[in-house]
Amino acid sequence: MNKILVALDTETTGLRAANDAIIEIAAVKFRGDQVMDTWSSLVNPGRELPLKVERLTGITREQLRTAPRIEQVARHVARFVGDLPVVGHNVEFDLAFMRQQNLLLNNPGVDTDELARIVMPHASRFSLKQLAAELEIDLPESHRALADATTTMKLFLALCGRAESLDTRIIDEIVRAADRSNWGLRDVFKEIQRDAARNAFSGSSIGEQLRAKGFFKGNRLKVLDDEDEAPALTPAAQAEPLDADEIASLFEPGGALADQFPRYEKREPQIQMLRQVCATFNDGGRLLVEAGTGTGKSMAYLVPAIEYALANSRRVIISTNTINLQDQLIEKDIPDLRKILPGDFRALVIKGRSNYLCRHRFEQFQRKSEKSPIEIRLLAKVLAWLPTTTTGDRAELSISPDEERVWAQVCADETCNAQSCPYYQRGTCFFFRSRRRADSAHVLVVNHALLLSDMAVGNQVLPEYKHLIIDEAHHLEARATEAYSVEVRQSGIEALLNEAGAEKGGLLAAIAAAAARASDAGAAEKEKLADLIEKTQGTVAEAQRAVYPLFGHLGDFLKSQHPPRGEFDQQVRLVAALRAQPAWSTAEMLCETLTGALLRLSTALSRIGQGCDEAEILTGDERLFQLGILRQRTDQLRANLIAIINQPGPNGIYWAVLATNRDEIVLRSAPLHVGEILQKGLFAACDCVVLTSATLQAANSFAYVRGRLGLAEADELALESSFDYKRSTLLCLPSDIADPDTPVYNKMMPETLVALCKATGGRTMVLFTSKSALQRAYDAISKPLEQAGVLVMAQYIDGSRRQLLDNFKTMPRSVLLGTRSFWEGVDVAGDALSCLVITRLPFAVPSDPIIAARSETFTDAFNEYQVPQAILAFRQGFGRLIRSASDRGVVVMLDRRVQTKAYGKSFIASLPECTQVRGLCKDVPAAAADWLK
């Protein structure tokens, strides 16, 4: 790198350039690894420095009082940087603050975060600190501007070195794609291309190293060959039962687990679960297991599953709801068991199509003449990653939300025509390779979404299985509801029709042009096909004309019935009373017009395909395959419209979403009951099904989950946690807290939080049920707590969920506020989380169309449906506190309904036996502090 660049870093009072202020600026001018000059200054922000920023940076309020204002340092910044490119880690953040002061308005930005995500796709994290550690770059102090700017310079140079070592064909392709764009890294890669050309004969590139090791065969990698793939499983004719005693002996003192793990302790609940799982594998049937925190349930089902699969060459599917648990199983638990269990068992994660790169679609994407900066960025990521991946799994890439739509252009999807794909023919298609490997696996780890989508398409996705374990089973109903839900958007219909009939770029026009050029067809056949396509274009236009009248009428009618309120989208159930109105009959007629046109379009598309086959025109052409996919999508769209508007079924929930921020009506449907669907489509096909979770019981009964999942005949096992909650956990139930829907509560709750968090020295997580309640509490408690030296961090305000948890674990005297996503899947062991506050019971919103419709199926919906559902969520929230046998903490329940309402006893009874204290809000802080001492 021979160009002069400036590495820049700022420290600020917050994350929003429009509202926050700079407190420190630093810049390092450099050429190659030579530092030419440095400059830095503290900046008086003209406002009070937040405690969290003071803790993070070490910059004090006293230091800033005597620092110059931004107006005084602006000319120094402008003079130092000039018109040079600015290098920064997440550079747009720093430039946004600069531009807010009318500084560096035209300087190009070079983002080391973006560059790292291209040339280091397998990095575990992409923070400046983490990347520096991974590349062995010394970082003297974090979150100080000059140190961070210097580290950013070193990181940039290291990343450029990595980029230069890429295969020259990759660098050339990135430069070609970026050549006419305004992509921020365009000039960087051009410079890397020039440097790589100068070093072309050094043999130091990654590509040369791979070739030297024999990994390349032509243009593909040896790691994708099939020679090391195991044969598909052939199930034993007669199943060999598990010996529960022998397997349990592995868990005894002196057993294999104790030998492998020095701190291993036998847990009786774990042995109980293991034996029951063995019995279910041997005898068949259904088993519900609630295993409290600390039971070790994953090992209790993994060992029997692996032993059974190995002994009988029969596949076991394990389904999870979260990526975290999936990663734990495949990256920790299963590798641990490989060291213990005899036999060579094969286990892998399998995912849905869209998780895999389609190399054929990626080649088509590469050929696009014009690409946006976002498209170029994803192209560069994939090109740099391709030589190193053996899976093609997008999880190995760092894909940002704005790159998701680009990934949709290059991932495997239902339009795949395997027979015409060269990568499928050569055995190097990532998706089909994963499916071949799945055929030979003893244990397949999937998520609930894939498991249920496989069920929805008649078990065409996963290889055959008869043994199923569902962990995090309390989410199964929600995931099944999503799997069988339908959405119809006006914009989606218009996009489909445009895809078919656009004059330029439409599929029909492409087929017509290709057919006209076909040399193996007669003039008569070509003319007949051209006429058929022309008529079909007319049918597309007819359907296009029918879209707006339907959705325009629906919008006017629904808004007249439910005038827009506030800033939120409205959800309107399409119930019998609404459908009985005369205006709905008009909607039905308009829908018939549209669906009639879609039926004629489907028929015409079929005739075009048949005409090509009969005339042997475009035989094997991929566009004819796409035509078949388009017809399937047209048929599905037509069926969805008819079901929602004209012929609603008895097991359906139907509603419309009126978007306030955009003029669009979205039609949706979901199943009323999923239990019967699951029973027929999933459970009945299996010999053995184990469903487990830390929370399956409501009011100490499995009745609720049995009813929701259609498991009337299942065996059940409830195992208490091995943790001593009586000793470890204090449950505070203040009796004078106001009801949560009163104005008094909005005053008492924050006052109690402030006093409590002062007494505990932070170390507190506060769970809310809505974003608005969280925001109100944050506004009320952050300033008084900061004055007491306790910093407050909040979801939606102070960074991502992961950043918040990392900071909460490492920053003493801190408080974390979170909503629903923090009620489960959060694991903070030790003193960092010593107090948990539940602000109100987590009841679902009763007006939600799915909740409202399902409530109508109960005699006493509140007690039979809404209370059990809330208890499961409540227990998940409670479970965030005690994560290990040595943990100790306090739970404060700031919803007096658990004490005053009849149903409240069920919530308390659902918790493990804790030490309880009931009293006044003013007594809670002292009780919590005494307990933690």
Contacts 24+ apart (CB under 8 A), 395-403: 395/351, 395/355, 396/121, 396/122, 397/117, 397/121, 398/117, 398/121, 398/123, 398/126, 402/374, 403/374, 403/377, 403/378
- Determine the Cα–Cα distance for residues 7 and 147; give it in Å rounded to an integer: 11
Residues 6 or more apart in contact with residue 451 via CB below 8 angstroms = 317, 319, 462, 468, 470, 682
Query: DSSP letters along 626-647, please?
Result: HHHHHHHHHHHHHHHHIIIII-
Residue with tokens 């629903």, as numbered in its chain: 820
- Determine the Cα–Cα distance for residues 301 and 320; give it in Å rounded to an integer: 13
Contact 573, 654 (CB under 8 A): yes
Question: To 5 degrees, how large is the angle CA 606–CA 610–CA 616?
Answer: 145
- Determine the Cα–Cα distance for residues 305 and 329; give it in Å rounded to an integer: 13
Q: Show the tokens assigned to 110.
A: 């070079």
- Determine the Cα–Cα distance for residues 761 and 812; give it in Å rounded to an integer: 8
Q: Show the tokens assigned to 311.
A: 């002994």
- Determine the Cα–Cα distance for residues 14 and 49; give it in Å rounded to an integer: 10
Bridge-partner residues for 730, per DSSP?
A: 890, 915
Contact 635, 570 (CB under 8 A): no
- Determine the Cα–Cα distance for residues 381 and 398; give it in Å rounded to an integer: 8
Q: What strands, in cross-sheet order, belong to the sheet with 570-573?
A: 486-489, 665-671, 652-658, 570-573
- Determine the Cα–Cα distance for residues 697 and 360; give it in Å rounded to an integer: 48
Which has the closest alpha carbon to 294: 883, 891, 914, 912? 883
DSSP 444: E
- Determine the Cα–Cα distance for residues 896 and 739; give it in Å rounded to an integer: 6
Buried b (16+ CB within 10 A) or exposed e, 692-713: bbbbbbbbeebebbbbbbbbee
Q: Show the tokens assigned to 416.
A: 């795949």
Would you call 143 a catalytic residue per the annotation? yes
* Cα of 87 vs its chain's centroid, Å: 30
- Cα dist. 613→530, 610, 803, 900 in Å? 14, 5, 57, 74
Q: Show the tokens assigned to 245.
A: 């005693």
Helix (H, G, I), strand (E, B) or coil at 124: coil
Q: How many helices (H) and strands (E) does the chain have?
A: 41, 25
Among residues 76, 89, 122, 143, the one annotated as catalytic is 143
Q: Where are the alpha helices (DSSP H) in 642-742?
A: 675-681, 703-709, 725-728
Write out the catalytic residue numbers.
143
